[in-house]
């Protein structure tokens, strides 16, 4: 009898940013395997990992990974999981909202969906020359200068949920590679 396996793509938040939060991709892959993952692949050293696992519930999978990562690293690693189909939709949404935009584009992947008032409050926080779109569990930011944006992970988390961001190139590459 074979156990059904679900394919997940996990995005880790706040790793490899300073001397105390190092989590190389080989260690990420090993922790995912210890947590029951198979067919594990990573992409660049910013915390992107694809794997198969018997757990099919997103929140449960995130919890399993967060426990495994904390046990390996001795610090919390907030983790957002999506399916390959969800990642494809996020990449397609990013292409649609960014059409014609010549600046930088980022996608914040969130643990949970937002309510209408939270979405409105977040969109209202955008600075001059910025546009924000909240679609599903993703926040799409179009900006000229990411270092000066008013839309940060902390702001997204205050309005919606735990999040991590990736630039458009990473989202496109991962969608092409893993979705």
* pLDDT averaged per 10 residues, the chain (length 179): 86 86 94 98 94 98 98 95 98 95 93 93 93 96 92 95 96 96
Domains of the chain with CATH codes: 6-82 (3.30.70.1280), 84-178 (no CATH)
Half-sphere exposure in the Cβ direction for 127 (13 Å, CA): 11
As a whole number of angstroms, the distance between CA 85 and CA 95 comes to: 15
pLDDT of residue 104: 93
**SS3 category, 48:** strand
pLDDT of residue 145: 87
Q: DSSP letter for 145, please.
A: -
- What pTM was estimated for this model as a whole? 0.94
> Which contiguous run of DSSP H or E holds residue 82?
strand 79-82
The CA angle 114-167-157, to the nearest 5 degrees, is: 30
pLDDT of residue 7: 98
As a whole number of angstroms, the distance between CA 163 and CA 155 comes to: 10
DSSP for 46-76, please give it: GTEEEEEES---HHHHHHHHHHHHHHHHSS-
pLDDT of residue 46: 86
């Amino acid at each position: 009898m074979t156990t059904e396996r679900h394919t997940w793509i996990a995005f880790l938040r706040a790793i490899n940013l300073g001397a105390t939060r190092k989590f190389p991709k080989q260690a990420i892959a090993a922790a995912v395997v210890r947590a029951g993952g198979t067919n594990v692949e990573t992409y660049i050293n910013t915390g992107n990992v694809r794997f198969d696992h018997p757990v099919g519930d997103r929140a449960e999978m995130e919890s399993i990974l967060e426990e495994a990562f904390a046990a390996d690293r001795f610090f919390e690693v907030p983790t957002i999981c999506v399916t390959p189909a969800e990642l494809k939709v996020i990449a397609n949404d990013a292409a649609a909202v960014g059409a014609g935009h010549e600046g930088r584009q980022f996608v914040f992947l969130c643990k949970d969906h937002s309510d209408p008032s939270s979405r409105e409050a977040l969109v209202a926080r955008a600075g001059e020359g910025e546009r924000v779109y909240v679609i599903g569990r993703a926040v799409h930011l179009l900006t000229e200068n990411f270092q000066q944006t008013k839309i940060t992970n902390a702001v997204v988390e205050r309005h919606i949920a735990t999040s991590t961001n990736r630039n458009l190139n990473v989202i496109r590459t991962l969608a092409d590679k893993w979705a």
